[in-house]
Structure 1
């Protein structure tokens, strides 16, 4: 793992952890995680292998990311404060789902690069998975998680902006 890989994973965790106290919803807040995973995709995602059981790995990984991101987005509170600003606050459960996804990917990367590569290779051969399918699986999981949470928070932020009387989109 490179320093950049570490920085992206830790930044993604940090972005939600700082929302535990509540932060004003901004375009930057919404787009920063998308930019981070987009950059990672440009660096590491060159194709999506489909031979053997590659898609049996890739599709469920993306669906897990989608589920974690949806859960994190749904469980994040979005409301207007007294000044009329839209405030986003990650609940403990939302943050836990987010950290679970990012933490799993970080742990897998550490395992793969610090002694687990041979075991992953043996597993891949045994299950007819091309070794190159792991990178898109992990990245598509990250994309799905980030895009799902971002979409839910953005949509609920729009609803809060349209309805100034609305105190909370989701009860805390």
Structure 2
């Protein structure tokens, strides 16, 4: 992993801090996480391999990202600020799910470049995954879907909150 890789991973993991402190639900707070993950995808994603079981790997990672993102969104509290603007605050479960998703991808990349490449290559051969490009695409899709799913769930809950239905966060 390069210094740039570590910085990008840290930035994505640290997106949890404003979520815990509480984010005003504005256009900026909607766009910022999507732009950051999109920038990471643009930096790393060169292609999406579709041979062997690469598409299955993509589907599994997308499903994992969706589950983590929906869980994050459901475990986020909504409250109205003193100025009337909605604020979304991630609770412990939401923060843990976010960190698990982002850190698992970073951990995989670290393992791949620090002694785990042989085991990953063996697994890939045994499961018809074509190589590093397939893993990169699948893990980036997982991150993008996690962010999009969390954002969508929080925004849908906010719309219901604003319409008078007060959806509660998951009890933790």
Cα distance in 2 for partners of 1:96, 1:38 equals 22
Residues 7 and 169 of structure 1: is their aligned pair in 2 closer, same or farther, counting only changes over 3 Å? farther
6-15 or 142-151, which deviates more:
6-15
1:154 is aligned to 155
Cα distance in 2 for partners of 1:83, 1:161 equals 14
SS in 2 for 1:169: coil
> Is 1:76 the equivalent of 2:76?
yes
Count of residues in Structure 1 that have an aligned counterpart in Structure 2: 169
* TM-score, length basis structure 2: 0.88
- Superposition deviation, residue 162 in structure 1: 4.2
Spell out the pairing of 1:132-151 with structure 2 (5 A cutoff): 132-151=133-152
Indicate the RMSD between aligned Cα atoms, in angstroms. 1.8
SS in 1 for 2:15: helix
Residues 7 and 29 of structure 1: is their aligned pair in 2 closer, same or farther, counting only changes over 3 Å? farther
Spell out the pairing of 1:23-172 with structure 2 (5 A cutoff): 23-131=23-131, 132-163=133-164, 168-171=166-169
Q: Any unmatched runs of 5+ in structure 2?
A: none
- Superposition deviation, residue 27 in structure 1: 2.0
Cα distance in 1 for partners of 2:21, 2:156 equals 20
* TM-score, length basis structure 1: 0.88
Q: Any unmatched runs of 5+ in structure 1?
A: none
Cα distance in 2 for partners of 1:24, 1:49 equals 38
Please identify runs of 4+ aligned residues in structure 1 that moved more than 4 A. Answer: none
94-103 or 39-48, which deviates more:
39-48
